[in-house]
Amino acid sequence: MARKIVVTGGKGGVGKTTVCANLGIALAHRSHRVLLMDLDIGLNNLDVVMHVEDKVVFDLVDVIENRCRPSQAFIQDIAEPTLYIMPSSHLAKRQITADQIKKVVSRLDDNFEFILIDCPAGIDNGFRRAVACADEAILVVTPHLSSVRDADKTVAELIGNTTVSVVINRVRGDLVASGEMLSAFEVFSLLGQTALGVLPENDDVNCNIRKDNSAAFDVLANNLINGKCELFDCVSPYKGILGKLRRKLKRNA
């Protein structure tokens, strides 16, 4: 039976899709069978992030409207053979309901170990539709007060049967060390939810999901699989005399 996990965050631009994609890759790299499901109907881009947009023949809406079987909408990742993507649609001719998506997810339950659901931004119907299909939620937040405030509102919507854990994305260790950015401890304390991971700011990852940030996502995947709470250290390299020099160099880069 698959662990059905929605990756959400309330606020747009916090990196939900990037986290969903990289976490799926890290899990599949450990030979787990993983499905990435895009539920951002109309504004979908998981296929673009995963570089499979030119391979899309059928999508989630085609499955719901019985134009194909679920397996026909899967796109297998080239690098990780146990990783599959189910893309969404740019346009649905009629309203897609949570019950329709839950039926699709239930048909896939025995085929995967993890089903990661990429959730649309906000806390409207698209959000509720995605959350209804999951038993767990990964709340992605950036270390900025506006993001934390929106995430706190999202937590209020998630409380119930959904287990919530928090991933802090785009942490700049140099700014945390100099007191110019909220620390991971401060963000976790403000939200009051289970800490799952910390991910550093990395421009390369925003452009290429398989580049340079694998260590942080390895820690995140390990925490998710084993129920641990080991946090990737973004700050230590910027402490002390050498750290102060690194901070100056980073500012001038």
In eight-state DSSP terms, residue 140 is: E
User: Which residue stretches of 30-59 are H helix?
Assistant: 46-49
C-alpha–C-alpha distance, residues 80 and 98, integer Å: 30
How confident is the model at residue 20, as a pLDDT?
97
Global pTM exceeds 0.75: yes
State pLDDT tens for residues 114-150. Answer: 999 999 988 888 899 999 999 999 999 999 999 999 9
Which of 131, 195, 138 shows the shortest CA–CA distance to 18? Answer: 138
- What is the domain extent for residue 159? 3-252
Residue 159 has pLDDT above 80, yes or no: no
Q: How confident is the model at residue 96 (pLDDT cuts 50, 70, 90)?
A: confident
Q: What is the mean pLDDT of the chain?
A: 91
State pLDDT tens for residues 170-227. Answer: 999 999 999 999 999 999 999 999 999 999 998 665 555 665 568 999 999 999 999 9
CATH number of the domain at 179, please.
Answer: 3.40.50.300
Name the domain count of the chain.
1
C-alpha–C-alpha distance, residues 107 and 66, integer Å: 13
DSSP sequence for 186-245: HHHHHHTSEEEEEEE--HHHHH-TTSS-HHHHHHHHHHHHHT------SSGGGSHHHHHH
Of these ranges, 12-16, 72-76, 131-135, the one predicted with the greatest mean pLDDT is 72-76
